[in-house]
Amino acid sequence: MTGHRKKILVAMSGGVDSSVAAALLKEQGHDVIGVTMQLWDYSKNEVSCDPTAKFDTCCSHDDVADAREVADKIGIPFYVMDYQDDFQSNVVDYFTSEYLRGRTPNPCVACNTFLKFDHLLERAARLGCDAVATGHYARIEYSAEENLYRLLKGVDAQKDQSYFLYSMTQERLARVLFPLGAMTKAEVRHHAERFGLVNARKKESMEICFIPNNDYAKFIEKHANPESIIRGEICHENGQVLAQHDGIHKFTVGQRKGIGIYSDRPLYVTHIESETGRVFVGEEHYLLKQGFVFDKFHLIHHADLSEPYEIKIRYRSSPAEGRVFTEPSSLGTRARVEFSLPQRSVTPGQIAVLYRGDEVLGGGFIDQVVHT
C-alpha cells in the first residue's frame, strides 16, 4: 500500500483500532476519508436516561465525537452516515427474534455480514474510493498465480477477529484493507500515543452495543410482542419435569447459573424446544454433541472439503477438528459437520467458522445439532 497513493474510506467507530488504521494510512500518503456509521440512537431508548444503566458501546454519541476529533487531529474529512433503520432490521430485530426462538445469535457477525461492508463499499464507490479500511485484526493475502484472495487470522492471537469476517467474498476482499492485521494491540496503542490521539488509552468495547447492562432478557422483553414470548416447562434429559419457566429467551445452551432449579449437582441447559416451550437440563455429559448442520453455509473460495479442518463454534472457543459434508438441497448447498471428538455446548444460532491453519475458509450459522 505504501508504493501507490489510493483514496481510502476508513470506517471509524471512535475506538483506538479504527483511529490508528486511519492515521497509519494517512501517514503512508493515502487520501483518507473517515466515516462513522450511526447505528443506534440511545436518546430514543428510555433506559439510556437511567443513570444506573451501563452501555459498553462502540457507537454512542461520545464515540462519534471521538472519531470526529481523531479525524480533525490527523487532518482528514469526516462524515456520519445514518443507518439506524437497517441496523434495526438486520441486527436488532434478528437478535430479538432468534432469542425468542430459543437460539443464541451473534449480532456482531450479523452486523458485519448483513450491514457494514455492503454499505461501506457502496458509499466508497460513490465517493470514488479505491478501497475500504477497518480496524479489524485480520489479514488479507493475494495470490497472483491463483488470482485468489485469502482471509487470514490476525497476528495477535488474543485480538484476532477473523471469526467475524467468515462471510467475506472475493469481491469484498479485493476492495477491503485491514491495516492492523499484522500488529499486536500493544503496537496499536503505541501508534495511538505517537499520533497523539484522544482515544489512545480508551478502554475496549466488550459488550453488545445496544444492550444496557448486558441484560439480554430485559432488552428482548422490552422490544418483543408479549404474545411472542414462549413459556413452558424445564425438564431433565431423563424426562422428569422440574419446574416452569416464563420464557425460553432467558436460556441458552451451556448455561448453568440462573436456571432457577435447586440441585445437589450442577445442571446445564442442554437444548431448547421452541415448538413445545420446553427447556431441557442435565449433567455436563449431556452437553457433548457429535456435530451439527449449517444454515447459510458460505465459502470464501472453492476448497476441497474432503479433509479434516479446524472448526470454531464460538468466538472464544478453541478450534475442534471435524469434517464437512455438503449436499444439494432445495435451499442451495446444505452442509453438516462431524467432529472427530464430541464437543461441548454446540449452540443453535451461533456461528461456526472453518479454518485451515491461519486461513478462514468460510462458515455459517449452527442450525440443527447432531446428538451423540
Q: Would you please indicate which residues are annotated as catalytic (active-site) residues?
A: 111, 209
Q: Give the count of alpha carbons within 13 A of 96, CB side only.
A: 19
Contact between 153 and 138 under an 8 Å Cβ cutoff? The reply is yes
Question: Which residues, other chains included, contact 288 with Cβ-Cβ below 8 Å and sequence gap of 6+?
Answer: 342, 343, 344, 372
Collapsed DSSP state (helix, strand, coil) of residue 286: helix
Q: What cell does 146 get?
A: 491463483
Instruction: Report how far Cα 246 is from the mean position of its chain's Cα atoms.
Output: 28
Given the C-alpha cell 450511526, which residue does it identify? 38
Residue closest to 339 by CA, chosen among 370, 299, 364, 302: 370
Collapsed DSSP state (helix, strand, coil) of residue 26: helix
Q: CA–CA separation, 76 vs 332, rounded Å? A: 44
Helix (H) or strand (E) holding 95: helix 93-100
200 forms beta bridges with none
Residue 70, classified by CB atoms within 10 Å of its CB into exposed (0-12), middle (13-18) or buried (19+), is buried
Q: Helix crossing, 185-195 with 16-27: angle to 10°?
A: 60
Distance (Å) of CA 45 to CA 85, 159, 212, 223, 249: 14, 31, 10, 11, 21
Distance (Å) of CA 241 to CA 101, 238, 247, 251: 21, 9, 16, 17
Q: What is the dihedral of CA 169, 171, 172, 177, to 10 degrees?
A: 120
Residue closest to 278 by CA, chosen among 240, 305, 225: 240
Contact between 124 and 34 under an 8 Å Cβ cutoff? The reply is no
